[in-house]
Amino acid sequence: MSTGETVAVKVLATDSKQGEKEFQSEVILLGRLHHRNLVNLVGYCAEKGRNILVYVYMSNGSLASHLYNEKLETLSWNLRLQIALDVARGLEYLHDGAVPSVVHRDIKSSNILLDEYMNARVADFGLSREELVDKHNSSIRGTFGYLDPEYVSSKAFTKKSDIYSYGILLFELIGGRNPQQGLIEYVDLAAMNTDGGVGWEELSDPRLGGQFNIKELNETATLAYKCVNRFPRRRPSMRDIVQVLSRIVKARHKNHRPSLSATTEEVSIDIDQTESCAPALNHQNHHRNDSSDILVDTSEA
């Protein structure tokens, strides 16, 4: 741009009929939704038959590229956990902060974009809906592997359907395995070997080389498994998810805090009592849309 700012430009194909609706949805929603863990719309063009969306450029691309492109450096466990928290905070804003509430409807790793500091933002609101409007739709929209089975059977998409997709994303971060290649079956098998919330280590991404906190991984996997519960009412809310992940991250910082005269145990603090003081994330930056993102219409399936 003339200001020196780098932006990402998303151009709607001229022969796209469904894309027109998604374009309008994204413009309307992003025009009023603002959060540090959502992409921000810089501007748009809807003239002379050209529909264009302009976002701030997200220099580190999509989460999917970092999980599956072997040419890129492997994401550390700590970074994966922070990305999970970033995404949860963005979704919590959509579910509980926006008025009316918004359901995303297409949470997946290719729709999570990373800025130069590896802060994560939720992207692509083309399928999003205000929860009070159009809750039922005749066709099933979304991406195979992330779709809530309850949504597929009832065709009613709710916040709990977003939470199912988020649970799949958590397991994707843990295992580095593509949800479209049998991830949930792998998770169900691993669940048979877990006892009291431990034993999820077999899911860990081989690229991590064992470099992760076992307690954190088990707590995160236990949370993810609650998110994909077959009964939507038993799934946690996004607010609950943010609280659990914040507690895990805070506990790590507490355990690594240096002390001049006391042991870690002696200077420990009660995480539960400080949970209401959620730390604010710094850095801003926003979004590069990944052309490989494909929306799947399973209405004929």
* DSSP category for residue 208: G
Q: Of 124, 132, 135, whose CA–CA distance to 10 is shortest? A: 124
Q: Which residues carry out catalysis?
A: 106
| Torsion region of 74: left, alpha or beta (phi above 0 gives left; psi -120 to 50 gives alpha) | beta
Whether the CB-CB separation of 160 and 233 falls below 8 Å is answered with: yes
Which residues are CB-neighbours of 250 under 8 A, at least 6 positions away? 271, 274, 279
Alpha carbon dihedral 234, 238, 240, 243, in 10-degree steps, equals: 150
Beta bridge partners of 43: 54
